[in-house]
Amino acid sequence: MVHLSQDRAPIMEALNKYRSMRVVPFDVPGHKRGRGNKELANFLGEQCLSVDVNSMKPLDNLSHPVSIIREAEELAADAFGAKHAFLMVNGTTSAVQAMVMTACKAGEKIILPRNVHRSAINALIISGAIPVYVNPGVNHELGIPLGMSVAEVEKAILENPDAKAILINNPTYYGICSNLEAITELAHRHQMLVLVDEAHGTHFYFGEDLPASAMSVGADMAAVSMHKSGGSLTQSSFLLINNDISEGYTRQIINLTQTTSGSYLLLSSLDISRKNLALHGKEVFEKVAKMAQYMRDEINRIGGYYAFSKELINADTVYDFDITKLSVHTLDVGLAGIEIYDILRDEYDIQIEFGDIGNILAYISVGDRQLDIERLVAALGEIKRRYAKDRSSIFEHEYITPQIIYTPQEAFYAPKQKLPISESAGYICSEFVMAYPPGIPILAPGERITKEILDYIAYSKEKGCFLTGTEDSKIEHINVLKEE
């Protein structure tokens, strides 16, 4: 295999050349390189707006790339070890949906864990594919879902030999990894495609001593959030394909939903960030891993908090752990993760990634400074001193296994009625309820609403979790299937 020169950034180079030509624009966007919107230009910078341009012959076209975008795709594929890479500007959500829709047509089955991001279940609503859920393992002490057990995946395969694909969420938001290689080999033995939601695993391709990446174990497709740990602009991602997946057909699927007005700000950020990681990723993520480990050690010294890591590995549902993740269990200080999230933001001006009922996640990257790290550690110590309570006041919760009655598409489009959420136990949900982040549904269309789930939703609201997904923005009412 011939490796390409990773010090190229063809989209950035073409934009610089185009800017130097001083072309008179009689095309869109209408701000005309910022001249038509001075306030925006002052806010974002004239240099930024000068490359917010339309697709044209010298700059290629994202929907059908033949020149510089095509070259950027080939460089990305080379960097990630894939057969081909697509530059995605509708976020990893669209990459996950493109994977599912490429692998499965309406009425075909896909095996997946229930603790997937809403984008995967949205893909089932759009496509009409039928989910076969594998319940993830659960860590009862932490109250978090884990990875997929190989034995549970095999059971699902044997019970559903007609399934077309398996979707694996790797790593989870908390850094938990499944046995990607074993599941991939198992699926391929049964002629099923392997799709990996690697939204939080960009660094697996470039760092050392990190969990296996999807492409390295022979998976067929992977959705990679370059904007998370890879340094590109928000909303920019890669979709990687491998093996016998058709590039042309996958692009057709992508073009069903992705914008025809691809932002060159997002595209160039993908191009530049890929170049940076290909050339310097090893050093970048070595530094990130060291920072995360230092913070784990310091936080665990405080007492009460538990910043977990590789000690969770059990060779099955926790096959590996992403040591760049700073996931911290908070219940032993008597505070829900979301409460600490709010205190950090409101009283210490520290914005972490998310807090749920029992945990917080601080996203660590090469952009962090030692001063910032010390500030977060000190704030957590002070929060414990000022706010710690008896753990008995905390709602003990862990992953709730859903009762699946209808497919997501059937339930979402079925005749429905609106009920007060407090009176909905026993009905079938026709919409989502989820805390965002992380965007993993508490309820998804087609699932039975239970008292246990309603108690969890009520507690989440009480503690200040940002709930989304229902037609009612206040989450006071919920749409359920209309009873005949």
Q: Is residue 216 part of a domain?
A: no
Closest by CA to 292, choosing from 351, 380, 360, 366, is: 366
Q: Angle 337-348/451-463 helices, nearest 10 degrees?
A: 10
**Distance, CA of 481 to CA of 448 (rounded, Å):** 10
Question: Measured in whole angstroms, how far is the alpha carbon of residue 457 from the centre of its chain?
Answer: 22
pLDDT tens-digit series, residues 259-287 = 999 999 999 999 999 999 999 999 999 99
Q: Average of pLDDT values for 326-340?
A: 94
Same domain, 361 and 425: no
**Distance, CA of 484 to CA of 472 (rounded, Å):** 23
Sign of torsion over alpha carbons 309, 204, 217, 165: positive
- Domain boundary among the residues 393, 426, 459 is at 393
Residue carrying the six token digits 């990681």: 277
| DSSP code at position 147 | -
Q: Is residue 333 part of a domain?
A: yes
- What contacts 346, CB < 8 A, 6 or more positions away? none
Q: Which of 200-204, 296-300, 357-361 has the lowest mean pLDDT?
A: 357-361
Q: Where are the alpha helices (DSSP H) in 219-263?
A: 226-229, 247-257
* pLDDT score recorded for residue 460: 84
Q: Where are the beta strands (DSSP E) in 121-244?
A: 130-134, 138-139, 144-145, 165-169, 176-177, 193-198, 221-224, 237-241
Residue 197 predicted with pLDDT over 90: yes
Q: Is residue 131 part of a domain?
A: no
SS (H, E, C) 339-382: HHHHHHHHHHCCCCCEECCCEEEEECCCCCCHHHHHHHHHHHHH
Same domain, 389 and 434: no
- Domain boundary among the residues 393, 418, 452 is at 393
Q: Is residue 16 part of a domain?
A: no
Q: Where are the beta strands (DSSP E) in 261-342?
A: 306-307, 320-321, 325-329
**Distance, CA of 177 to CA of 168 (rounded, Å):** 10
* pLDDT score recorded for residue 137: 84
Q: Average of pLDDT values for 327-335?
A: 94
CATH code: domain of residue 440: 3.90.105.10
- Domains contained in the chain, number: 2
Closest by CA to 307, choosing from 175, 146, 450, 182, is: 175
* pLDDT score recorded for residue 434: 87
Q: Is residue 226 part of a domain?
A: no
Contact indicator for 117, 201 with CB cutoff of 8 Å: no
Q: Is residue 361 part of a domain?
A: yes
Q: Is residue 296 part of a domain?
A: yes
In the structure, what pLDDT confidence band is assigned to residue 422 with cuts at 50, 70 and 90?
very high
My answer on whether omega of the bond before 161 falls inside 30° of 0, hence cis, is no
- What contacts 326, CB < 8 A, 6 or more positions away? 292, 295, 296, 299, 307, 361, 362, 363, 364
Residue 398 predicted with pLDDT over 70: no
Question: Measured in whole angstroms, how far is the alpha carbon of residue 266 from the centre of its chain?
Answer: 17
Same domain, 433 and 388: no
Domain that residue 367 falls in: 281-393
Query: H or E segment at 472?
Result: none
Q: Average of pLDDT values for 169-195?
A: 97
pLDDT tens-digit series, residues 206-256 = 999 999 999 999 999 999 999 999 999 999 999 999 999 999 999 999 999
CATH code: domain of residue 309: 3.90.1150.10
- Domain boundary among the residues 338, 363, 393 is at 393
Residue 424 predicted with pLDDT over 60: yes
* pLDDT score recorded for residue 441: 87
Question: Measured in whole angstroms, how far is the alpha carbon of residue 352 from the centre of its chain?
Answer: 16
Q: Which percentage of the chain shows pLDDT scores above 70? A: 98
Q: Angle 91-103/118-127 helices, nearest 10 degrees?
A: 40
* pLDDT score recorded for residue 395: 63
**Distance, CA of 133 to CA of 136 (rounded, Å):** 9
In the structure, what pLDDT confidence band is assigned to residue 435 with cuts at 50, 70 and 90?
confident
Q: Is residue 306 part of a domain?
A: yes
- What's the whole-model pTM score? 0.94
Same domain, 381 and 333: yes
